[in-house]
Every structure is written in structure tokens, then in C-alpha cells.
Amino acid sequence: MVIVTGGAGFIGSNLVKGLNLRGYDEIVVVDNLSNGHKYKNLVDCQIADFVDKSAFLSQLQQGLFKTKKIQAIFHQGACSSTTEWDGRYMMENNYDYSKVLLHYCQQHGIPLIYASSAAVYGADANFKEQLAFESPLNVYGYSKFQFDQYCRRLFPALTAPVVGLRYFNVYGPREAHKGSMASVAYHLNNQLKQSATVRLFEGSDGYANGAQRRDFVYVGDVVDVNCWFLDNPQVSGIYNVGTGRSQTFNDVANAVIAYHGRGTIEYISFPEQLKACYQSFTEANLEALRVAGCQQQFKTVEQGVRLYLGWLNR
């Protein structure tokens, strides 16, 4: 049995589908369907059970999942909104919940593969998994940073594997429910279907219009990295998951335009409220991931966007 928290969400549901394609169907999905639109992400997936997030930890601790051995827990569930500033909610949801799950896994010898985030780096341009380069710009990033720190203190005495994966800018199928937090590729595709233009922010932090750079990583590649760690339980640690090469927002827009064969880019004013908490540049350092043995080859924006839009517009 494999458990996927946040399994009806974006990365979680893609992970469930990816596990299905690898022959896994004894999967317990844990999530909160208060956003009922997320159910669509699981319709074509095979799972053994669905458990509401509010009941999951108590059921786990009561031993209700012991009829079959838990091979691993993929902890993808979190509030991922970088514009959410309720710090108490963020820490309860992303930090305290994760600690309970971590200690359960250590007590019972279960590998834990959890979602961290590139948001831990903030404005630092050295995207390397070291404390010296970590300074989050928002409370979401802090919640992920603090759980990484908590895990680091336990690494010397682990009784089961623990892997934290710092996702960069993930895009791809099954993200429509995220609304405003969905990827730029998703929004630009919708804009172009409705008009002849796509909209990007004007320049900021010394970058020209649309030239801010992010490490855009296709969700299928993220799933493959998760599964690599499932297959290699001898590895523990915190690792970046990105392509290792930044590309501009203009690159994403041009990939969307190329797919549709039409369109132009319009630049809009950069929002004042984002200026102090916006990452204008991200680029994963993959040294640690490669040393661990994972040689996943990541798609370019041009490759990934074409795959994604083919799925969206099918």
C-alpha cells in the first residue's frame, strides 16, 4: 500500500496516476475536497480508498491501515498559496501536521517522501540545499523551510528514509482547480483561447518586460523523481527538483503562442503588493540530486508546454 496526502491536488493526483502506470493500485488518497472541483483529478485514477484529511492522522495512529504494509507515504498535502498570510493556519497545516506524520513514519519504519519548495530560498540566487542560502519571502516559504530544518535535525538518527523535494515552478495537467495559483502556462493558454493576446508582467528587479526567469518544471518529470526515490529507499535528504536551467516568462508565452499558431504578448503593470515577496529568478542546483544517483532528464519549457497544451486542449 502507498499513501498519497494531497492526492486530489495538482502534483498529488499526477503522482497517483504515475503510480498507476507503474502498476500500483493499492493507493490511499488523503485530501480535503471542500474544493469539490478536485475530484476531477482522480476520475481516471485507480485507488483503494479516499480518506478526508481531517480524519487521516487519527485513523493512522489507531492502526486502521495495518491490514496491509505501508510501502511509503508521499506527503504532498499543503497550503501552497504564496499570498496566504495567516501564519497560524499555515504552520498548523504545513508544519505541525507534517511533524506528526514524520514521527509516525519513523516509529513504524515507513519511508516518507514529502513536498518542500523552492520558496525556501527567497531572493537568494544560490539555489543550493544549504542553510546559508535559505531566506523565504513569505509565510508559505517559511512553513516549508521550518519543516526542512526540523527534518535535518533528525537525519543523523533516522530509522526510515526521509526525502524532502524542493519543487520549483511546476506546471502541467490537473492544476485547473488551483485558480489564480495555477501555472502561467495554464493562464496564458486560457487567455489566448479567449483573445488574440497573452499578458505578462512588465519588468522588475532589473529584468526587462517578461524577462524574469524561473525554473519551470513539467509535472511528469516531478512524478518520475518521486518514483525514483520510492525505488531507492537507501537515500535520504533534501533535494531540489527543477530542470537546472531557468527560462523566461516570455519563453512560456512564446511556447503557448507557437502551440496555437497565433497571438501576441501584452505587458501589464507589476503589482505593488508582490514587489517585496516575489522571486524574479529561480534555477535549481541539481548537484545533490545527481550525487544521490537520480539522473532524471528534465523537459524544456518548449517540450513541456507542448505536452501540457496537448492534454489541456484534447
CATH, residue 141: 3.40.50.720
Asked if residues 282 and 127 have their Cβ atoms less than 8 Å apart, the reply is: yes
Residue 82 has pLDDT above 70, yes or no: no
125, exposed or middle or buried, with CB in 10 Å at 0-12, 13-18, 19+? exposed
Range of the domain at 33: 2-171+218-245+282-299
**Residue 65, pLDDT score:** 80
In a domain, residue 92? The reply is: yes
**Residue 123, pLDDT score:** 81
φ/ψ of 3, rounded to 5, equals -110, 135
pLDDT tens digits along 126-152: 999 999 999 998 999 999 999 999 999
Cα end-to-end span (Å), the chain: 32
Q: Which residue has the higher pLDDT, 246 or 54?
A: 246
Q: Total domain count for the chain?
A: 1
Confidence band, pLDDT 50/70/90 cuts, at residue 278: confident
**Residue 38, pLDDT score:** 96
In a domain, residue 182? The reply is: no
Segment 159-183 shows an average pLDDT of 96
Beta-ladder partners of 29: 4, 50
In a domain, residue 81? The reply is: yes
Q: Which residue has the higher pLDDT, 291 or 122?
A: 291
In a domain, residue 272? The reply is: no
**Residue 83, pLDDT score:** 66
Give the integer Cα–Cα distance in Å for 104 and 96: 13
In a domain, residue 185? The reply is: no
Residue 247 has pLDDT above 80, yes or no: yes
Give the integer Cα–Cα distance in Å for 116 and 247: 21
Beta-ladder partners of 2: 27, 72
User: 51-62: buried (b, 16+ CB within 10 Å) or exposed (e) per residue?
Assistant: bebeebbeebee
Catalytic residue positions, numbered: 140, 178
**Residue 125, pLDDT score:** 87
In a domain, residue 37? The reply is: yes
In a domain, residue 209? The reply is: no
Question: Whole-prediction pTM value?
Answer: 0.94
In a domain, residue 203? The reply is: no
